[in-house]
């Protein structure tokens, strides 16, 4: 029953992220939930990423997500919003190089993450926002090729939140 309840909660959490306000009303947020085998694939990719980069905390996080019943993934497509706000560091949107993310996209993603976490809190679901898991999900293309800046929110329902009070495997 716990797994089914967590998957239902994931749907509500995804809904909260989807309905979060977006810059200029343009929805470029990608959202998905992964469970079971996909979580194991993410964990394995995080171990590979750790071996490639030497970032040891990725191994700790890779083991940690195996305690999740589901993981909500959120990412953003890269779409310049045409505001010429210079938040990205360039005076106009036309001057911004393609690989540099539009800051409005990143802000939208942050608002969606906040809405998702607020809903998880309302539901009393254990969570943690983890860029490390999102990095692995992005490499695996879980939200599609266009989705960048992927962030993960692992979900659990246990006596104690398994995503906090973690000890590092080795100093990073």
Question: Would you say residue 97 lies in a domain?
Answer: yes
Question: Would you say residue 162 lies in a domain?
Answer: no
Rounded-to-integer distance, Cα 7 and Cα 28, Å: 23
Question: Would you say residue 170 lies in a domain?
Answer: no
Question: Would you say residue 19 lies in a domain?
Answer: yes
Question: Would you say residue 56 lies in a domain?
Answer: yes
Question: Would you say residue 168 lies in a domain?
Answer: no
What is the dihedral sign for C-alpha 144, 139, 151, 2? Answer: positive
Q: Domain containing 35: what range?
A: 2-156
Question: Would you say residue 139 lies in a domain?
Answer: yes
Beta bridge partners of 127: 155
Average per-residue pLDDT for the chain: 93
Kindly tell me if the per-residue pLDDT of 159 is higher than 90: no
Containing 76, the helix (H) or strand (E) segment is: strand 70-77
Question: Would you say residue 113 lies in a domain?
Answer: yes
CATH of residue 115's domain is 3.40.109.10
Rounded-to-integer distance, Cα 12 and Cα 29, Å: 16
Kindly tell me if the per-residue pLDDT of 167 is higher than 90: no
Q: Count structural domains, the chain.
A: 1
Q: Which two tokens stand for residue 104?
A: 């409005």
- pLDDT band at residue 164 under the 50/70/90 scheme: confident
pLDDT in tens, 117-135: 999 999 999 999 999 999 9
């Amino acid at each position: 029953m716990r797994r089914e309840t967590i998957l239902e909660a994931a749907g509500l959490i995804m809904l909260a992220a989807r309905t979060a306000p977006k810059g200029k009303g343009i929805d470029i947020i990608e959202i998905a939930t992964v469970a079971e085998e996909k979580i194991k694939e993410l964990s394995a990719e995080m171990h590979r990423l750790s071996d490639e980069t030497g970032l040891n905390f990725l191994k700790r996080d890779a083991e940690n997500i195996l305690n999740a019943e589901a993981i909500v993934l959120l990412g953003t497509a890269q779409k310049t919003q045409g505001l010429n706000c210079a938040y990205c560091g360039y005076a106009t949107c036309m001057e911004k190089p393609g690989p540099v993310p539009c800051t409005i996209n990143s802000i939208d993603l942050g608002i969606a993450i906040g809405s998702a976490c607020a809903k998880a809190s309302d539901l009393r679901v254990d969570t943690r926002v983890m860029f490390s898991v999102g990095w692995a999900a992005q490499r695996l293309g879980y939200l599609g090729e266009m989705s960048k800046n992927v962030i993960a929110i692992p979900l659990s329902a246990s006596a104690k939140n398994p995503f906090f009070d973690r000890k590092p495997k080795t100093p990073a």
